[in-house]
Amino acid sequence: MTLNILQLTDFHVFADSKKKFFGIPTYDTLKDILNEIKNLDIKFDYLIITGDLTSDETIESYENVKNILGKRILNCKIIPGNHDDRNLIRKIFPDCVENNEGPINFSISTDSWQLFGIDTHVPGQLYGNISNETIEWLRNLLEQNKTKPTMIFQHHPPIHIQTKWVDALGLKKSDDYLKLLKQHPQIRVVSCGHVHQEFSGNLENISVLTSPSTGLQFKKGTDMLECDPLPPGFRIFSLSYDSWNSQIIRLDKLKYNPVNN
């Protein structure tokens, strides 16, 4: 049986639904993405949101996101990004998180795969960090099942993506976490947000992927922030026994041109 996953990331929605992020009306582009998913009749067993639901971290912006997502949150898991607020995520999306305090991690076990969500959020900072609590939580779960293929979702990528200014805002003090990943060969994929661009790399035998934003895109390989005039997009996964494939889907046309601040 195939397990289908839809990954959405980096909405950057504001309390004011008309406010723009680098010239992009992110409320509208999120709606456009969801309409495209509907029009393409994309079926998914789980929706995974890998952070930065908002840009202003207000309750109104999270309510805007919830209104747009509608019934899709019934099979949804959320992990926070650097522009998120854990308390507000728990308040507005109680059914999309698994605990009431501490890091917002998640675990899903199916007949053929296990999926984990890792919280990399550091309050008030753009970079990410993974707490010792989360590392031990993940270690225990990985040790319980050393043979089942595993996918991990997180906001900040665990490796550099060769875009200098983004890499400076990546994971900090991550040696223990990277060591843990390398020690468990059942981990096949780590899929991330944060970088607003498509990327594919490797951490030893683990595939490391990133997904485009549902709003603003950033150019690859730049030293400083530069917006990329590419349409918004998302990532889908199809998982079967001991194999997986993934695809990036973007809107057909660029509807709104970004503006470099």
DSSP character for 32? H
Average pLDDT over residues 57-61: 97
Give tens-digit pLDDT for 130-168.
Answer: 999 999 999 999 999 999 999 999 999 999 999 999 999
CA–CA separation, 203 vs 212, rounded Å? 20
Residue 201: per-residue pLDDT: 96
Residue 71: per-residue pLDDT: 85
- In this structure, CATH architecture of domain 3-250: 4-Layer Sandwich (3.60)
- What DSSP string describes 67-102? HHHGGGGGGEEEE--TT--HHHHHHH-GGG-S-SSS
CA–CA separation, 165 vs 223, rounded Å? 6
26 residue type, one letter: T
Q: Is the pLDDT of residue 90 over 90?
A: yes
Residue 43: per-residue pLDDT: 93
Residue 33: per-residue pLDDT: 97
Average pLDDT over residues 182-201: 97
- How sure is the predictor about 110, in pLDDT bands with cuts at 50, 70 and 90? very high
Average pLDDT over residues 178-202: 97
Q: What are the b/e assignments for 236-261, b being 16+ CB within 10 Å?
A: bbebeeeebebeebbbeeeebebeee
- How sure is the predictor about 103, in pLDDT bands with cuts at 50, 70 and 90? very high
Q: Is the pLDDT of residue 261 over 80?
A: no
CA–CA separation, 129 vs 165, rounded Å? 17
Q: Which two structure tokens, joined as six digits, stand for 137?
A: 């939580």
The residue ranges of every structural domain in the chain are 3-250
Per-chain mean pLDDT for the chain: 95
Average pLDDT over residues 31-55: 96
Residue 125: per-residue pLDDT: 94
